[in-house]
Amino acid sequence: MKRLFWIALCSVALSARGDEAAILDKDLRIMMEWFPGVYDNQEQVYFEEEQGIDESLRHERIHHVFEPAELPAFGQHVFYVQQHLNDDPAQIYRQRIYAFRPDYEANAIRLTIYTPNDVAPLVDAHLDPAKLAGLTPEQTRVLSGCDVFWQRRANHFVGYMEPDACSYVSRESNKRIIFNDDLLLTQDALWISDRARDEAGNVVFGHPAGVPHKNRKARRFECWITARQRDGDWTFRRGLEVYDQGGMVWLSTDEDDPQEVGIKLRNVRWPVDPNRPSVVLYAYRPGEDRAVSYTWADPAVERIGINLRWMQASCTHTPR
């Protein structure tokens, strides 16, 4: 009788573990649908300035690309990651390979972060996947204790590191830096609260008040722009890529002394005003912070355009 009891108890435990594994596998499938894409915190940055938040508490503008990559040596769910600052693609500050897998012991989705030893040849690999060909884990490094664990909570995923487990020795200061990170992922947003301190407790980086970078997922649009030249002819360009989280693109006219016109696309939600969420298409001249004009539409719009007689533009939602 006692033996039968233990057999039944083990069967229940195995069944429960099987259920947990099935749930975790489903969570991973959902997360892999939500995670890929382009994210930007332009909305957070814009409204911090507009609301007069003290400069010491404002966030820098960060643009994130998480592009699926075919790199079987790293695993099944792999991404090339590229991040830049200040709306300037030349200011790349991080390039990584992310590999997700289910960790059944931790009952969490485990993210291992690989840093390529030579990042220069990989710049813009999300646009040219051939740059990743031949990359192996041996050509990267992984910091011990720096894996991120993700668990689903209702309609979002929470990411975390083991407290104070991730550290490295800074080449600049020769001090050990302790790194922690907390994250939140929804279908259309990724909040990141990464921070670091030295062993004496001095802050190395991170928001002073602990407010995360609130990045919204961006939708990709392809645009055409045309602008009138001084001789009355028109310059026309198509296939221009822009994202609806503050993305901007410029056109130079085909003449000896070129003129420039730019467009910017924002999918904006006002944090305090009664204005409705809208996609806004702006037209700019160089050297002017204020837009020449703008037009707006519903946030789910598939196409938006503007016609100012001397320039025209149209942008169509076109996923990569």
Distances (CA, A) of 215 to 141, 146, 187, 191, 212: 27, 22, 12, 6, 9
CATH no., domain 33-217: 2.40.128.590
User: How do the domains of the chain map onto residue ranges?
Assistant: 33-217, 219-317
Residue 18's pLDDT is: 73
Tell me which long-range contacts 229-236 makes (C-beta under 8 A, separation of at least 24): 229/253, 229/254, 229/255, 229/259, 230/255, 230/257, 230/259, 231/255
Q: Using an 8 Å Cβ cutoff, are 281 and 242 in contact?
A: no
What are the tokens at 241? 């890529």
Give me the pLDDT at residue 61, please. Answer: 96
* pLDDT 10s digits, 98-143: 999 999 999 999 999 999 999 999 999 999 999 999 999 999 999 9
What tokens were used for 223? 């645009």
Could you read off the pLDDT of 10-30 as tens digits, one per residue? 554 445 567 899 999 999 999
Distance of CA 99 to the CA centre of its chain: 16
Residue 8 has pLDDT above 50, yes or no: no
Tell me how many degrees the CA angle 72-189-48 measures, rounded to the nearest 5: 135
Reported pTM: 0.90
